[in-house]
Amino acid sequence: MFRIPESVAELGRKRIEGFPVEGFVYGEGPQNPEIMLIGEAPGEFEIVDGIPFIGRAGKELMKSLATIGLTREDVYITSAVRSRPYKWGTKKERDGTVVKRKYNRPPTQKEIIAHAPVLDYELTHVQPKLIVTLGNVGLQRLLGKEAKVTELHGQLITGPIRHLESLDGSTFGWTEKTYSIVPTFHPASIFYRPSHRPALEADWLEIGRLLEGS
């Protein structure tokens, strides 16, 4: 199992202080795995147990992995941001009372920059055969805003990726090293866009084929 050093986790915790986020979930999985999965950020369930992708989206993700003969233990799972971004909203209880509660939200660019050194460390040290980005947040963290999952999903992209140039700035540069990346949809996206399911399934079969050929 690979785990980032405490000093890197501490840096991540410090850099995200003051943002509306909570918890810190470590990336999880072996060094030199078949795949490194890069999601958005943990949600309400992940921060309770400290395990990535254990909510509803996680169950979908495990089904996709199973279609190519892999389990959670075979892959390294992480995300662009390691804390749960939340926003306050209201919820009506069964008895009609209205309560305030936290809802998940996508991470902001500033939060992605705050946790960039954490993901950069993982990208340098985990060394997977293939990186699979789940949704636009993970994809754009690696390849920039122009990269769109709807256009690039299921395609093998080989090239450098973005990393934060310095700890006191917000500029990304490109790595010297070349990585192999296959973007696909975030597993939660099919809950609100079920029409994406066939494309998502085809992407995973392609990922399986690429691993067999590697």
Is residue 119 part of the contact set for ligand URA (CB under 6 A)?
A: no
Closest by CA to 70, choosing from 40, 34, 113, is 34
Helix (H, G, I), strand (E, B) or coil at 6: helix
Is residue 113 part of the contact set for ligand URA (CB under 6 A)?
A: no
Query: Residue from 64, 79, 136, 184 that binds ligand URA (CB under 6 A)?
Result: 79
Which residue's CB is nearer to ligand URA, number 57 or number 68?
Answer: 57
Is residue 46 part of the contact set for ligand URA (CB under 6 A)?
A: yes
Query: Residue from 41, 142, 190, 200 that binds ligand URA (CB under 6 A)?
Result: 41
Is residue 111 part of the contact set for ligand URA (CB under 6 A)?
A: no
Is residue 36 part of the contact set for ligand URA (CB under 6 A)?
A: no
What is the sign, positive or negative, of the torsion defined by CA atoms of 143, 144, 150, 152? Answer: negative
CA 119 to chain centre: 9
Phi/psi at 129 (5° precision)? -70, -40
- Are 98 and 3 spatial neighbours (Cβ–Cβ below 8 Å)? no
- Are 22 and 83 spatial neighbours (Cβ–Cβ below 8 Å)? yes
Is residue 210 part of the contact set for ligand URA (CB under 6 A)?
A: no
Binders in 137-196 for ligand URA, by CB under 6 A:
none
Residues that bind ligand URA (CB under 6 A): 39-43, 46, 52-53, 55, 57-58, 79
